[in-house]
Amino acid sequence: MDTTQDAPRQDFDVLVVGGGTAGCIVAARLSQDPQLSVGLLEWGPSDIDEPRALQIARWPELLESEYDLDYRSVPQERGNSSIHQTRMKLLGGCSSVNTMISWKPLASDLREWVGLGAQGWDAETILPYWSRVQAPITPVAEQDRNPVVELSLQAAVAALGVPRRQTWNDLPAGEDLTAGAGFFEIGYDPTTGIRSSASVAYLHPVLQRSNLHVILGRRATRLQVQGRRVSAVETVREDGVQERFHGTREVVLSSGAIDTPRLLLLSGIGPKDVLAEAGLDVVVDLPGVGENLQDHAEGITIFEVDLDIPDVRATDWDAGVLTTVDEGAERPDVLMHLPVTTVGDHVEAQGVQLPTRNVSMASNVAKPRSRGRVWIDSADPGAPPKIDYRYFTDPDGHDERMLVAGVRLARRIAAAQPLAGHVVREVFPGEDAHTDEEISRRERAVHQTVFHVCGTCRMGAAENPASVVDPSLRLIGLDNLSIVDASVFPTVTAVNPVGTVMVLAERAADLLRQRI
C-alpha cells in the first residue's frame, strides 16, 4: 500500500476519491477486473494498525480524536447548536467509527426514492444486492447482551405492543418493517470483537492486488475540469506537497455527505450564487450541490434506577425499538436506541445532574422533513465547511412532534414491567415537563445527531434542477464523474444507513462496470 512518503503512481483507469464505507467497496469490487487499474485516495492513514478502529467496542475513543474532522454547524434556530459532527479521515471512514448497526434497505425508503426520480432504485432491483454485502453482519451475541437493556426491551414489548425481534433483516420479500424491539444485527465478529468495516471486509483481504493502489495521506482539494471531463484531482499532503492524480475513464467521489459537496464547490461545481460569494468561477452551475441536507435528530429520556448496570456490551448501542406514531404509516416514525451508557453531556450542560445509576432511551426522528445545507464561504480548502442542519424547521412541525412522541413512548416503556419496578424517577426531561411545548423546548436544547448526514448531492431525474446525479450516479453536466456515498440519498433512511450505503456501493460497482 502506498504511504505519504512514497512517490505513487498517479494515473489510473478509475480514481476513487475517499476511502470511506462506499469508496472501499467500489475500489475493491472494480479491482476484481485485473485489466482495470484502480486508485483509491484517502485523506487519512490506514486502519490496519489502529486498534481503536478495529475493535468495535472502542469506537468512542475515536470521537474527537486525531482522525476526527469534528465539524460544527452554524447556530441553530430551533435545535442544538453545540453538536460535534464526527467525520473520519481514516481508511474505512464512518464504518471504522460507527456501531455498525446494519439494516437491509427498507422497501418503503426505496419506494420513496423512486417517487422522487431515482428510477431503477426500486426494491426489486436493489434488495438482491444485500446478499452481496461482504461485511459479516450478525445479531448481537448472547454474551454481549446487557441484562438491563433486556429489561427495557421486555418493557417495550409490553407497553407498545411491538413484536420482539430476534433478527431484523430476514423479513419476507415485500413486507415493510415498521415496528419491533430487540438486539440489533451489527457488523462484527463476536469471538474477536473485530468490526466488519468496509475496510476490514473489502480492502484488507485484497491489498496485494497489483492493479489496486491505496494511496494514503492525500487530501483532495480540487477537481480540474476540461470541457465535460474531470482531467485531474488536485491533492495536498500533510507536509504541504501538492500532487495531481488522474482517472482516465472515471473519477468517483466517495468523500461523504459533507466533503463530497464541499469538494465540488471548491471545484466550481454548484449553485452559482454560493460560488460567487466564495470567489470562485462557475464551472458547472448545479443548484442542488450542498442542498437537501438531512440528519436523524435524537432526543433523550433519562431515568434513575435502583439497578447496578453491568459492563456487558458489544458496542454500547446494541438494541432498540422501532415503532410508528401516525396511523397507517408505511415506515417507522421513531427509532429508539437503548444504550448501556447514557450520553448525557448536552443534558449536563443544561445543569442537570445525572445519578450514577440510570438508563436512557434515545429516540430519533426516523423520517425527518426538515432540510438543511452545506456550503463554503471561501475558496481556501483549509477553511471549514458551513453546515446548517435546520433541525425542526419543517413547516408542518412533523419533526418536533416525533421528538415529543419519542419522550412519551419512553415514559410508557419505563412505566411497564419488568422495568417499572426499578425506576426511581425521571431525570430528563423531568417529571415537571407535561405539555408538548415543555418537552419540546427541553429536548431541542440537548438533542444529539446520530451522525447520519446525507442527501447533499441527491439522486434524481436529470431534468430536475434539484438533482446532482442521475439514477446512474453520474454527475449531471460532466461525462466522467460519479458520486457514490450517502450524499446521493434523495431522503434519509428510516434506520441506520450503513447497510444502505454498502448496498449503494455494490450497485454502483455494477453501474460503473457497464460504462467504463
SS3 string of 51-63? Answer: HHHHEHHHHHHHC
Q: To 10 degrees, the CA torsion angle through 172, 498, 509, 490?
A: 90
Here the cell at position 238 is 500533510
DSSP per-residue letters across 62-94: GTTSTTB--B-PSPPSSS-S---B--B-STTGG
19 backbone dihedrals φ, ψ, rounded to 5° = -100, 45
Asked if 379 contacts 280 with a C-beta cutoff of 8 angstroms, the reply is: yes
Helix (H) or strand (E) holding 251: strand 242-253
Residue 172: cis peptide before it, omega within 30 degrees of 0: no
CATH topology identical between 11-138+197-293+452-513 and 141-190+296-369+400-449? no
Report whether 422 contacts 348 (CB < 8 A): no
Residue that the C-alpha cell 433483516 belongs to: 169
The string of DSSP codes covering 118-164 is -TT-SHHHHGGGGGG--S--EEPPGGG--HHHHHHHHHHHHHH-PPB
Nearest to 462, CA basis, from 471, 454, 451? 471
What is the biggest distance separating any 2 CA atoms in the chain, rounded to whole angstroms? 69
**Each residue of 457-507: pLDDT tens digit?**
999 999 999 999 999 999 999 999 999 999 999 999 999 999 999 999 999
The letter for the amino acid at 226 is Q
Dist CA 503 CA 498 (whole Å): 9
Contact call for residues 374 and 278 (beta carbons, < 8 A): no
Q: What is the DSSP letter of 420?
A: G
Per-residue pLDDT tens digits of the chain, which is 516 residues long: 655 445 578 999 999 999 999 999 999 999 999 999 999 999 999 999 999 999 999 999 999 999 999 999 999 999 999 999 999 999 999 999 999 999 999 999 999 999 999 999 999 999 999 999 999 999 999 999 999 999 999 999 999 999 999 999 998 766 789 999 999 999 999 999 999 999 999 999 999 999 999 999 999 999 999 999 999 999 999 999 999 999 999 999 999 999 999 999 999 999 999 999 999 999 999 999 999 999 999 999 999 999 999 999 999 999 999 999 999 899 999 999 999 999 999 999 999 999 999 999 999 999 999 999 999 999 999 999 999 999 999 999 999 999 999 999 999 999 999 999 999 999 999 999 999 999 999 999 999 999 999 999 999 999 999 999 999 999 999 999 999 999 999 999 999 999 999 999 999 999 999 999
SS3 per-residue string spanning 459-509: ECCCCCCCCCECCCCEECCCCCEEECCHHHCCCCCCCCCHHHHHHHHHHHH
Domain boundaries, the chain: 11-138+197-293+452-513, 141-190+296-369+400-449
CATH classification (class only), 141-190+296-369+400-449: alpha beta
Q: What are phi and psi of 328, to 5 degrees?
A: 80, 10
Q: How far is CA 331 from CA 365, 400, 442, in A?
A: 12, 18, 27
Preceding omega of 429 cis (within 30 degrees of 0): yes
- The three grid cell numbers given for residue 58, joined into one nine-digit string: 472502542
User: What topology does CATH give the domain 11-138+197-293+452-513?
Assistant: FAD/NAD(P)-binding domain (3.50.50)
Q: How big is the chain, counted in residues? A: 516
Q: How far is the CA of 5 from the CAs of 8, 33, 207, 222, 365, in angstroms? A: 9, 28, 18, 21, 45
* Torsion 30-21-230-7 (CA) sign: negative
The catalytic residues are: 452
Euclidean distance between the first and the last CA atom of the chain, given in angstroms as a whole number: 24
What are the distances in angstroms from CA 33 to CA 38, 41, 146, 509?
A: 10, 19, 45, 11
**Among all chains, which residue has been given the C-alpha cell 500500500?**
1
